[in-house]
Chain A
């Protein structure tokens, strides 16, 4: 039973560029959430996707966008990269269907993004 997988593991980009990060949820999960974890901090919620729609969004600018595909996998896109976007980007999956309220989040290993 595969857990949450993310790609790539590491990425180096230049200011102003665009980046796409990918996530496959744990088998049986239908909801994907993205978090940004700066060094020495707790994860911060970016947004959540369910049924291919953005359902919730944290306090992040429109430069951060995403997508969920019919197979539940997801992408996180960040445009016009800033130095401050350097962080570990974590994908987490859960099960949202009725009767599974408060399904635990399972995290992937993350993508380490460095913006120079």
Chain B
């Protein structure tokens, strides 16, 4: 089955710097890759997603890139702000038998943005 590896587990940056979180997946049939942000005690919130027919997607300070050949995808946050501090999860959804599978999550990256 699908397995998602996420690195690093913790990341500390200065306000204004960029942050990059990387994930790899094992199932080449996966075709949907969302990223979730989870603040302490709150629900995971979708911040950006990408489908396998797209190589890059941007939304203001957030971008995601996908390399299907290498089976890895990355989250890029530019001009980080203290409110970006949270745990970020990547996920992959395999395509099985003509229907969408369930999301497989990485273990998370705790991002700390220091003012």
Which residues of A are at the interface with B, using a C-beta cutoff of 8 A? 4, 33, 40-45, 48, 55-56, 58, 90, 96, 101-102, 104-110
Are A109 and B42 within 8 A (Cβ)? Answer: yes
With a 10 A CB-CB cut-off, give which of A42, A90, A106, A109 has the most chain B CB atoms. A42
- How many A-B residue pairs have C-beta atoms within 8 angstroms? Tell me: 51
Given A42-B107, A45-B102, A48-B102, decide whether A102 and B44 contact each other with a Cβ distance below 8 A: no
In the complex, chain B residues whose CB is within 8 Å of the CB of A104 = 34, 46, 49
What are 10 A-B interface contacts by the 8 Å CB criterion? A41-B108, A42-B6, A42-B105, A43-B103, A44-B105, A45-B103, A56-B101, A104-B34, A104-B49, A107-B43
In the complex, chain A residues whose CB is within 8 Å of the CB of B100 = 96, 101-102
B45 interface neighbour in A44, A58, A107, Cβ under 8 Å: A107
Given A107-B44, A109-B43, decide whether A102 and B93 contact each other with a Cβ distance below 8 A: yes
Which secondary structure dominates where chain A touches chain B? loop
In the complex, chain B residues whose CB is within 8 Å of the CB of A110 = 43
B7 to chain A, nearest CB (A): 13
Decide if B65 is an interface residue (CB 8 Å cutoff): no
Decide if B78 is an interface residue (CB 8 Å cutoff): no
Residue of A nearest to B9 (CB): A40
Using an 8 Å CB-CB cutoff, how does the interface string of B89-109 with A read, 1 for contact, 0 for none? 101010000011111111110
Are A90 and B44 within 8 A (Cβ)? Answer: yes
Residue of B nearest to A94 (CB): B100
